[in-house]
């Protein structure tokens, strides 16, 4: 596969084995999607193709460390773990598109838009089921538990987001908890699966889970910043899409504290792209975007600073680059 610009230096830093394993992960993802009967195969293939930069499978491989420390030098289990994490991620994207009635995903029509609600739900369900079918072949119950917890957290986070839709007052702590559930837990699982499959070192897995939590949380915060600041040609959606959906994010929370005009806005009254754009401009004008970005950058710095000193130099460098890559999405 051709690595995204952000991923290429990470793969190079992690070692020459990583690009080959990423290729194997990509091949296996394609095999799983193409094995479905038509038209499900086409929907699954399109969903996986629109999934992005494969950051989560890459994190599995980087968390595993250098090959000389692995219990299985073939890397077969790491490929399965990377595939499983990406399938869960893909499943959540297609289900999110149903909940958000999203016409586009990274500039491509969503399954929901192209084939309808029932097709999208079935596609997400199939991908989610195959994630665990793939992971169970590793024969490690701890890995299955880690991914299962992440899957449950995703559902809980989505329910919290729906419960908070259009709310006039959402506590910062509740918002951050929601982001941990919806996004950070899958980053945590990627780290845990990489370590558990490679070495079985549960203590190290716990430490890298904390790294995954922080960068996953930063990832979501910056994604929320991009919803307000990012042009459609870059994000694949119009500015303020989350606001139109009633989703209360960190930039809006901070802007409500800083600007009485923004605080007085009823999200239910924001019903057109033009109104959403105007609210985005107001959020930006009061400095809320920079404050949200600073919060995310602080999490990234913490993630890097608190990596274990015992990590091999190459692995630490690669993890640092993963953290930096989260920030690069915003630049």
Report pTM: 0.94
User: Hey, what are 112's tokens?
Assistant: 């929901």
Confidence at residue 134, expressed as pLDDT on a 0 to 100 scale: 97
E strands, the chain, are 104-105, 108-109
| Fold observed for domain 7-328 | Farnesyl Diphosphate Synthase (1.10.600)
The Cα 326–Cα 328 span in angstroms is: 6
For the chain, what are the domain ranges? 7-328
Return the percentage of the chain with pLDDT > 90, whole number.
81
DSSP β-bridge partners for residue 131: none
pLDDT tens figures, 178-207:
999 999 999 999 999 999 999 999 999 999
Give mean pLDDT, residues 223-251: 85
In the prediction, which pLDDT does 73 show?
A: 94
The DSSP line for 41-99 is HHHHHHHHHTS-S-HHHHHHHHHT--GGG-S-TT-HHHHHHHHHHHHHHHHHHHHHHHH
Task: Name the packing angle between helices 17-34 and 117-135 (round to 10°).
Answer: 130
DSSP letter for 244, please: H
Q: What is the DSSP letter of 203?
A: H
pLDDT, one tens digit per residue, over 133-160 is: 999 998 999 999 999 999 999 999 999 9
């Amino acid at each position: 596969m051709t690595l995204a610009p952000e991923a290429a230096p990470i793969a190079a830093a992690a070692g020459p084995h990583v690009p080959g394993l990423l290729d194997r992960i990509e091949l296996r993802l394609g095999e799983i999607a193409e094995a479905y009967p038509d038209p499900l195969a086409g929907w699954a293939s399109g969903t996986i193709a629109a999934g992005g930069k494969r950051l989560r499978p890459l994190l599995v491989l980087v968390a595993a460390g250098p090959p000389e420390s692995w219990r299985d030098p073939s890397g077969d289990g790491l490929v399965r773990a990377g595939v499983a994490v990406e399938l869960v991620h893909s499943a959540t994207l297609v289900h999110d598109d149903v909940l958000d009635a999203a016409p586009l995903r990274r500039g491509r029509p969503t399954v929901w838009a192209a084939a309808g609600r029932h097709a999208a739900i079935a596609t997400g369900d199939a991908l989610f089921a195959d994630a665990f079918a793939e992971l169970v072949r590793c024969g490690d119950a701890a890995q299955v538990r880690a991914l299962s917890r992440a899957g449950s957290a995703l559902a809980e986070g989505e329910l919290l987001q729906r419960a908070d839709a259009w709310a006039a007052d959402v506590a910062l702590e509740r918002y951050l908890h929601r982001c941990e559930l919806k996004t950070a837990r899958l980053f945590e699982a990627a780290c845990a699966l990489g370590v558990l499959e490679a070495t079985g070192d549960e203590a190290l897995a716990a430490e890298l889970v904390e790294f995954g939590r922080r960068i996953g949380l930063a990832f979501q915060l910056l994604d929320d910043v991009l919803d307000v600041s990012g042009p459609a040609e870059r994000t694949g959606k119009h500015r303020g899409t989350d606001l139109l959906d009633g989703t209360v994010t960190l930039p809006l929370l901070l802007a409500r504290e800083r600007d009485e005009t923004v605080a007085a806005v009823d999200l239910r009254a924001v019903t057109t792209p033009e109104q959403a754009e105007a609210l985005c401009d107001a959020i930006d004008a009061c400095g809320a975007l920079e404050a949200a970005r600073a919060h995310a950058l602080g999490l990234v710095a913490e993630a890097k600073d608190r990596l274990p000193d015992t990590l091999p130099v190459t692995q630490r460098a690669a993890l640092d680059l993963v953290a930096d890559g989260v920030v690069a999405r915003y630049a």
